Structure 1
């Protein structure tokens, strides 16, 4: 079942898929071709009518016509042995599709789940054993340098999730927002806020309300506040699209536009609740 953390992490990778390639290179030593375009592609691996072959996010390194490397990103918050077969199937299907190297990156906010996900996945196909690259709290860097946080705000937000109990991590993230375009800063703040523990959220809110935070002018605070409200509804819209996608429902362009342009928090929440158990768009939007 999708959750706020699950959907937020997916949004970070979908909004800047280069993050996956960077993590594989920098944290795991995987050879992912540098200086090549990186983009999100379809995550549907169904070869028969089913709902069990949708990866969270699939990323291609290289051009769409001639990719160099495939990356499957899965967000795993709980131990679920049924997912292991799915990961092996995703990797095999993407390899067959691309005939190129494929990496599976599993992001686990919980250390126990990370240890479970790191175990090799043995299949009934002779010789096929999948070992995923698992990004657990121990491998997520503590980003305490505001300059590094500004260069990679997605990684800084994930660092807040894993290490938000360290005030220096939260302070670096908030300081970095001064260097992020003012119309983007609210979105990154909302990402971090959704990923953070209650203790880290208190630090985030304390810094934002203080006079020492760089965005301190009345105009900037008003602009940031408006942006934050817009960021929250945009985050809801992204979560709604993710849930619909996970339900295996196709979203036409006009429906996506309706969702992304909606600024009514309550309406988006209503649609999101309906989407969790929906099998068609009519079940989500038919009553409106």
Structure 2
């Protein structure tokens, strides 16, 4: 359920944009300019090109002015990264330059990576070619997120506590961290508590959640919020599509049919289950991968 896992982390910053400032200052020791409030900006960073470019979240920190509109003093692009994606080495510099041009203020890239190996990969400097121009992403991985096991501390910073669960779920302290969060959530109204609990459930891979749930003192967990139910349903559909795509490629490979990278990518990116089912049937009889796409239009 990669989609649900990804969206759960993005949602945290939508609920509290100041979370980006907390991570930058407390976890990464980055000094920020004085500002009055933080708010979401459009995450569409498309330039005048055919390719759509959209970051996970964009947060602008603005300072109030007595005469004019509040002006941005800093903008932060938040990206959630759960695996290696070499395309980001090209798109992240573009995101920054596009946002800097749009808001006319300094910009930063904050990457949230719950896996330690992925966090290290994301933190590698990206050379742009021009002398002196190197982008080094600011990355929050497990080492930068505190372990929070005190329900009182959870109540003071729910979003950071959610990050704590997600980043440390597969450690020996995982059950204790989750128990502290769920205990603190009992003091919130049902809708708000359900939203935060569902974020955690959606963000964790199934096998990790199953392990944690065995150690919980609370009752068996059920999804509470419409947001979670919608995203879990999308995630299940996405997972089914991925399985169909791999089955198609496996059949073609077993039959000795070569599949060029562009066709393989097209099959993997398709989320139309009916089309994928038709491709899977055709994969058993076609003579080439081109014929597969031609037969099912």
Q: Determine the structure 1 residue equivalent to 2:249.
A: none
Secondary structure in 2 matching 1:43? coil
Q: Determine the structure 2 residue equivalent to 1:203.
A: 212
Q: CA deviation at 1:202?
A: 4.3
Q: CA deviation at 1:93?
A: 1.8
Q: Determine the structure 2 residue equivalent to 1:269.
A: none
Q: Determine the structure 2 residue equivalent to 1:190.
A: 198
Q: Determine the structure 2 residue equivalent to 1:256.
A: none
Distance in 2, Cα, partners of 1:68 & 1:236: 37
Distance in 1, Cα, partners of 2:35 & 2:48: 36
Question: Which deviates further from its counterpart, 165-174 or 195-204?
Answer: 195-204
Are 1:136 and 2:146 an aligned pair?
no
Secondary structure in 2 matching 1:8? helix
Say if 1:92 and 1:186 are closer, same or farther in 2 by CA, change over 3 A: same
Deviation per CA, 1:56-106, whole angstroms, max 9, x where unpaired? 111101167411110000111221222111111111222222332211101
Selected match of 1:228 from 224, 231, 242: 224
Unaligned runs of 5+ in 1: 211-223, 240-272, 278-288
Distance in 2, Cα, partners of 1:70 & 1:184: 28
Q: Determine the structure 2 residue equivalent to 1:42.
A: 42
Deviation per CA, 1:207-258, whole angstroms, max 9, x where unpaired? 3318xxxxxxxxxxxxx97x8153533656998xxxxxxxxxxxxxxxxxxx
Q: Determine the structure 2 residue equivalent to 1:218.
A: none
Q: CA deviation at 1:182?
A: 2.7
Are 1:108 and 2:122 an aligned pair?
no
Say if 1:234 and 1:15 are closer, same or farther in 2 by CA, change over 3 A: farther
Are 1:11 and 2:11 an aligned pair?
yes
Distance in 1, Cα, partners of 2:101 & 2:35: 24
Secondary structure in 2 matching 1:103? strand
Distance in 1, Cα, partners of 2:227 & 2:3: 18
Selected match of 1:155 from 151, 160, 164: 160
Q: Determine the structure 2 residue equivalent to 1:85.
A: 90
- What is the aligned length? 231
Q: CA deviation at 1:143?
A: 1.1
- Backbone CA RMSD of aligned residues: 3.0
Contact 1:13 1:19 in 2 (8 A): yes
Distance in 2, Cα, partners of 1:34 & 1:147: 29
Are 1:179 and 2:187 an aligned pair?
yes
Q: Determine the structure 2 residue equivalent to 1:213.
A: none
Contact 2:47 2:98 in 1 (8 A): no
Contact 1:186 1:231 in 2 (8 A): no
Q: CA deviation at 1:180?
A: 2.5
Deviation per CA, 1:175-211, whole angstroms, max 9, x where unpaired? 111232332001111111112343444434743318x
Say if 1:137 and 1:189 are closer, same or farther in 2 by CA, change over 3 A: same
Distance in 1, Cα, partners of 2:10 & 2:180: 23
Distance in 2, Cα, partners of 1:28 & 1:142: 16
Distance in 1, Cα, partners of 2:7 & 2:201: 13
Unaligned runs of 5+ in 2: 64-68, 236-270, 276-297
TM-score, with length taken from structure 2: 0.69
